[in-house]
């Protein structure tokens, strides 16, 4: 009997992240497609809205959100090495890159899918939802089902104003990640960890697998293509370990600096809107998925976006690691933050704590 079941899709960003973790962990699981029937009978009754991936645990518990799925499996498997690095600085950086992979690489991932691979994506969505239909019927259904995903582009900040910056930033990111992979097989050493799984979601499910963006990755960044292939094969490196002495490789600093330049200002603007909302909200109140409008700037190109609240939840996890550090470890973290342009995180505080409850982010 299979211990875990993962409901998702090959075309899905976050299913890719969860699958990569489960494969690396060696968990006994079965993956099933999230068909219309699965949404109707499992996902909507237990989660409340249409989202993937969703996983069931051995006791039948339904878990949504990739980090929650990973934490639930980690607790049950008690295997080594852990997905979350044990060293405080590596754990802090892995949480920062978790935030970047989940909540910022989504911008180029969605741009390239819907502005370069749209027709292909419709066919994929239709085949997932109704495998019994003809290809043309699947395409038409995919257009209907895919409309809400394409509709997320302005929410994320993808527009004529920002697209030149998005493409320039993504290509520069590929170069930076390629340089890192020339020194280390994974983000923090010789085996995958949390940050690798977060990066794999966009880099596999959208930017490797979608035809046009896949050609771009293979041409510009064969080292990243090879990393995706290694992760896809389970990321197994017998005897491999993370870099010793809780060190952060210098080759990651350009990527972290990009995150601080691009993502951190958007989060700071979002935090101000969150503070206004939280001032009159009660504990347990569900945090709106979008808190208003903000500008984002990528490689000198500015445009409008929605102030998405979920990045605050991901950032809170990183700040919790930072605030729990002993003085010697925090000094090392502070030095890193200064080098990458992230000194603002040393004093960054959310106006209210967040927690997950019934598959929602709410005020603690």
What CATH number does residue 10 fall under? 3.40.30.10
pLDDT number for residue 142: 85
pLDDT at 363 over 90: yes
Last residue of a domain, one of 23, 58, 77: 77
217 and 323 co-located in one domain = yes
pLDDT number for residue 129: 78
- What is the residue whose two structure tokens read 């982010």? 361
Distances (CA, A) of 202 to 103, 158, 197, 236, 332: 10, 16, 10, 20, 30
53-92 pLDDT per residue, tens:
999 999 999 999 999 999 999 999 999 999 999 999 999 9
The reply to whether 187 falls in a domain is yes
The answer to whether the CB of 117 falls within 8 A of the CB of 212 is: yes
pLDDT at 289 over 70: yes
The reply to whether 82 falls in a domain is no
**In angstroms, how far apart are the furthest CA atoms of the chain?**
62
192 and 338 co-located in one domain = yes
State what percent of residues in the chain have pLDDT above 70: 99
Distances (CA, A) of 212 to 99, 229, 235: 26, 17, 25
Last residue of a domain, one of 27, 53, 77: 77
The reply to whether 195 falls in a domain is yes
52 and 105 co-located in one domain = no
Long-range pairs of 81-86 with CB within 8 A, sequence gap ≥ 24? 81/191, 81/193, 81/241, 81/242, 83/21, 83/24, 83/25, 83/193, 83/194, 83/197, 84/193, 84/194, 85/188, 85/193, 85/194, 85/242, 85/246
The reply to whether 25 falls in a domain is yes
> Structure tokens of 121?
């994506």
pLDDT number for residue 236: 80
In SS3 terms, the chain reads as: CCCEEEEECCCCHHHHHHHHHHHHHCCCEEEEECCHHHHHHHHHHHHCCCCCCEEECCCCCEEECHHHHHHHHHHHHCCCCCCCCCCHHHHHHHHHHHHHHHHCCHHHHHHHHHHHCHHHHHHHHHHHHCCCCCHHHHHHHHHHHHHHHHCCHHHHCCCCCCHHHHHHHHHHHHHHHHHHHCCCCECCECCCCHHHHHHHHHHHHCCCCCHHHHHHHHHHCHHHHHHHHHHHCCCCCCCCCECHHHCCCHHHHHHHHHHHHHHHHHHHHHHHHHHHHHCCCCCCCECCCEEEEEEEEECCEEEEEEEECHHHHHHHHHHHHHHCCCHHHHHHHHHHHHHHCCHHHHCCCCCCCEEEECCEEEEC
User: Mean pLDDT score of the chain, rounded to an integer?
Assistant: 96
154-208 pLDDT per residue, tens:
999 999 999 999 999 999 999 999 999 999 999 999 999 999 999 999 999 999 9
Last residue of a domain, one of 53, 77, 101: 77
The reply to whether 171 falls in a domain is yes
pLDDT number for residue 146: 82
Mean pLDDT of 283-289: 97
60 and 181 co-located in one domain = no
pLDDT at 148 over 90: no
167 and 202 co-located in one domain = yes
12 and 97 co-located in one domain = no
5-51 pLDDT per residue, tens:
999 999 999 999 999 999 999 999 999 999 889 999 999 999 999 99
pLDDT at 1 over 80: no
The reply to whether 70 falls in a domain is yes
15 and 92 co-located in one domain = no
pLDDT number for residue 238: 67
61 and 181 co-located in one domain = no
The reply to whether 149 falls in a domain is no
Task: Tell me the pLDDT band of 237, cut-offs 50, 70 and 90.
Answer: confident
pLDDT at 247 over 90: yes
66 and 168 co-located in one domain = no
179 and 69 co-located in one domain = no
98-117 pLDDT per residue, tens:
999 999 999 999 999 999 99
pLDDT number for residue 131: 84
The answer to whether the CB of 265 falls within 8 A of the CB of 271 is: no
Structural domains in the chain (count)? 2
Q: Which domain does 63 fall in, by range? A: 4-77
65 and 94 co-located in one domain = no
180 and 210 co-located in one domain = yes
Q: Which of 120-134, 234-248, 347-361 tops mean pLDDT? A: 347-361
């Amino acid at each position: 009997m299979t211990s875990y079941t993962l409901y998702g899709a090959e075309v899905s960003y976050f299913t890719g992240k969860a699958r990569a973790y489960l494969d690396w962990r060696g968990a006994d699981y079965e993956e099933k497609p999230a068909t219309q029937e699965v949404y109707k009978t499992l996902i909507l009754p237990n989660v409340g809205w249409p989202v993937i991936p969703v996983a069931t645990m051995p006791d039948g518990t339904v878990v949504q959100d990739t980090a929650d799925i990973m934490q639930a499996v980690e607790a049950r498997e008690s295997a080594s090495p852990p997905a979350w690095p044990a060293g405080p600085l590596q754990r802090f950086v892995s949480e920062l890159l978790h935030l970047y992979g989940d909540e910022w690489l989504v911008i180029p991932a969605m741009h390239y899918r819907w502005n370069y691979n749209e027709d292909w994506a419709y066919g994929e969505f239709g085949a997932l939802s109704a495998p019994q239909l003809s290809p043309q019927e699947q395409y038409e259904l995919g257009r209907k089902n895919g409309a809400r995903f394409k509709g997320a582009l302005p929410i994320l900040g993808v527009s004529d104003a920002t697209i030149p910056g998005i493409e320039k930033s993504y290509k520069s990111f590929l170069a930076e990640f390629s340089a890192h992979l020339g020194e280390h097989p994974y983000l923090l050493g010789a085996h995958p960890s949390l940050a690798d799984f977060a990066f794999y979601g966009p880099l596999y499910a959208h930017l490797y697998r979608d035809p046009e963006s896949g050609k771009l990755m293979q041409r510009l960044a064969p080292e990243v293509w090879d990393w995706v292939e290694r992760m896809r094969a389970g990321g197994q490196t017998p005897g491999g370990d993370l870099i010793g002495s809780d060190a952060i490789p210098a080759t990651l600093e350009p990527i972290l600096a990009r995150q601080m330049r691009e993502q951190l200002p958007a989060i700071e603007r979002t935090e101000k809107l969150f503070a206004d909302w939280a001032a009159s909200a009660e504990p347990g109140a569900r945090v709106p998925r979008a808190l208003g409008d903000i500008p984002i700037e990528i490689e000198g190109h500015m445009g409008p976006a929605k102030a998405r609240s979920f990045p605050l939840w991901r950032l809170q996890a990183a700040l919790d690691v930072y605030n729990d550090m002993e003085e010697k470890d925090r000094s090392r973290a502070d030095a890193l933050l200064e080098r990458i342009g992230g000194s603002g995180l040393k004093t960054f505080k959310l106006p209210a704590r967040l927690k997950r409850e019934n598959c929602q982010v709410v005020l603690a």
